[in-house]
Chains A and B, each alone.
Chain A
Amino acid sequence: MGVIDELLRQPPYATRPGELQNLLRAAVQEAIGHHCEHCPAFNRWYRKQGVDPAAEIKDLAQVPFLPVSIFKRMSLESVGEQDVVRILRSSATSSQTPSRVVLDRMTRDRQMRTLGTLLSALMGPMRRPFVVLDAAPQQGGDVELSARVAGLRGYLMMASETHYVLERQNGRMVLDTEKLAALLEKFRSQQAPVCFLGYTYMLFQYVVAPLLRAGRQFALPAGSMVLHFGGWKRLAGQAVDRERLNSELSQVFLSPDPCIRDAYGFTEQLGIIYPDDGHGVRLAPVYSEVIVRDPISLESLRDGVPGLLEFITPLPNSYPGIALLLDDVGRIVSRGKGEGGRFGTRFEVIGRAQGAEIRGCGDTLPEQIYQVRA
């Protein structure tokens, strides 16, 4: 696994054009060889794509890709059962079936290392207090809460201390405003920048909206950050977009240098996150590449044209999640020099791919009438 590890040792963002692209291609090729050798189903699929796994990759867009939903349908493993240290399940928000992804020690270590590197690049190397916009997990607590907390646990590696500021009251999530006020008072007096962390919809629904309604405002210590993730789908019905969230956030949390970041990522390539620049534009680190594909022809699209997003990374060792097509729609914004002199592919996520609006009379039968397999 020499090339992959060499890639993962690199700083996260390239500072020269094209830098490390060869290393990424070589690492992806090494990963393909590994998964073809150790995952028979992947090997069968890969060879049916008419591509030689040993052939040199000249263009990452030519690498065969799997739809991410394959992990909801099939159990794909590239390591023996004895090597599995953890099984991840996605939140299954857009379907009833969660993804199932197995982790071995190597994959888990790589995930932790890349996530740590990317978070350090985002908020600096020093740990800081984290204010989590959720309720504290409890032994035997509710499943949804446990799943949410599991989803944000990786970020807490950057926490010097962790505080949960929501609590469940009569089955509803409620912000403990006094606890929040006391925490911020303490951090201000210590001049310690904090990080607010939480799911996007929780941040709006249980923090920003109630504080705005109550007319409450809090001053943040300089250098503080709001980091949210999980997507906008659950806010769509409330007509909340990035502009509104950021604007209302700035009204309740007063900061001399406001820093609001929306992190994008997904269970099947855990360890790599794509924080935005505050305006929805994200930069792929050197550990991965993003490709945009036409949903009908599946060809890679030219920059600026919206299509289905594909992500390529050699990071997963225990399952073949290296080139994955998502049902999220996005577009490439630029590939040149950007903020901080960083080079790489900049993209934005536009939303979830649309289905047919109202299908004909052949649609929407109850699922139970279909028996897919014996």
Chain B
Amino acid sequence: MKIFVLFDERGRHIEPAGNPDDSPMEASPDRLVEGLKVGQERLRSAPIDDLIGLCDAAGQAWTMPGSDVARMISSLSIGFLPLWLRRANLEPLVAQAFRGNIKAIDRFVSNGGGNGRKHRAQPRGILVHWVAGNVPLLGMISLLQGLLSKNANLVKVSRQNAGILPFFLDALRKVRYRRPDGTEVSGTLLTDAVRAIYMDHEDPAAAALSTLADVRVAWGGREAVEAIMNLPRRFGTEDIVFGPKTSFVVVGSEILNGPEGARRVASLVARDTVALGQRGCNSPHTVFVERGGQVTPEAFARLLGEELSRSARQVPPDTAPQEAFQILSWRAEYDMRGQAWYGDGVRWSVFYSDEDRGLATPCYGRTLFVRPVDDVLDVAAFCSINTQTAGLALGERRLKVAEALTARGIERCPEVGHMSLYEAPWDGMYPMDRMVRWVSA
């Protein structure tokens, strides 16, 4: 058994672009778990206000211009992370998960039933997270929810970008939160309850980690998630699966009654596309555009190309060579049978054909397939358990369309421009709620 320890109570043992195999190694998870339990006890006894205060301080510090963390956030296109960490975001998020009372994770509180009974949320224990390789933001958010619910967290990162999560954990470790009474809390309160590790797919450590987990949190593609779910587990272990899903945009004809409005929407779609390197389950790949507006679906596709060109210029692409080859294939095909807009190299592409229907196969590399529909409600036919976010650009029909899409499997219907934001519920659940046990007294 070879478990490479990338981050522990002493800090990080890997550079952001480092090789996980060069990190200290453990032959079993025992010592890691022992250390985690100590960290978790400290976390359990701390008030939730301290935990949120530390996150808020991190959110502030990480937007300081010129700092290493700010540069990393910019290079990963995850500017949303510091905003997500702010108190104004976290307090409602935690309250939603804990039945409207954030103190429920600290102590017994009234259950609100008017019967004098009290309840509280108890952390489940050890969370083992399996994080998708190239969406480090989502792994970080998963982990922070584990901490806000006062659990111990063992995070198995992927070989790709193995050093990214330890980098942020190390930055969180150095954060200080000054309470209203002037006393200080160190970021180690959070990070001592975290270990980031790496091991090979075939290593028996994977089964050992799965067996010791009270909650298994899996992010990733289909094969990865299936492999994790097939590992042995104890009876009663909770599984939180953020599996493979695809997302799209719906643009109603009422938004397309003038070039300015259309351009504004195109700009927001472009922003959602560039965020997360278009690799998140919440990243759009298909843009359904309703016919009947002043701006036709084809004209909207052209506008989208212009806006995507602008957004893509600001962030360098992380396109793999095989993906680049696929993009070129799509370009050639659409140049021959439809319309294609693209810039130099493979920084961005928009494709359109009057003939196309349904969801496009994701191509990545800031590639969008614009598809016309006669009625936005027709899009419901393409929704299923495999679809996650529908970014909506609609007028008064917004809730009616959201009703139709969510009834067929869509989980989120944010406004366009907000697709990449992580919020609760996510994938049909309030994740923090699944990380605790509700107990009464």
A residues with a Cβ closer than 8 A to B are 41-42, 44-45, 48-49, 66-67, 69-70, 72-74, 294-299, 308, 325, 327, 329, 352-367, 369-374
Contact = CB atoms under 8 A, between A and B. Distances in A.
B202 to A, nearest CB: 14
A295 B242 contact: no
B441 interface: no
15 contacts: A41-B336, A70-B332, A70-B333, A296-B319, A325-B325, A353-B325, A358-B132, A360-B283, A361-B138, A361-B242, A363-B222, A364-B223, A365-B246, A374-B355, A374-B356
Contacts of A48: 335, 340
A73 B285 CA distance: 20
A19 to B, nearest CB: 32
A363 B355 contact: no
A296 B346 contact: yes
B281 A356 contact: no
A357 B133 contact: yes
Given A295-B320, A299-B345, A356-B364, 4 more contacts: A296-B317, A308-B324, A357-B158, A371-B357
A63 to B, nearest CB: 14
Nearest to A40: B336
A204 B132 CA distance: 37
Interface in B40-82: none
Interface in B332-354: 332-333, 335-337, 340, 344-347, 353
A358 B220 contact: yes
Interface residues of B, number: 63
A45 B221 contact: no
Contacts of B282: 362
B140 to A, nearest CB: 13
A284 B130 CA distance: 48
Contact of B359 (A73, A358, A371): A371
Contacts of A297: 344-345
A354 B318 CA distance: 13
A44 B329 contact: no
A357 B221 contact: no
B224 interface: yes
B360 A370 contact: yes
Nearest to B282: A362
B244 A363 contact: yes
B328 A67 contact: yes
Contacts of B276: 360
Contacts of B325: 67, 69, 295, 308, 325, 327, 353
Contact of B221 (A49, A299, A361): A361
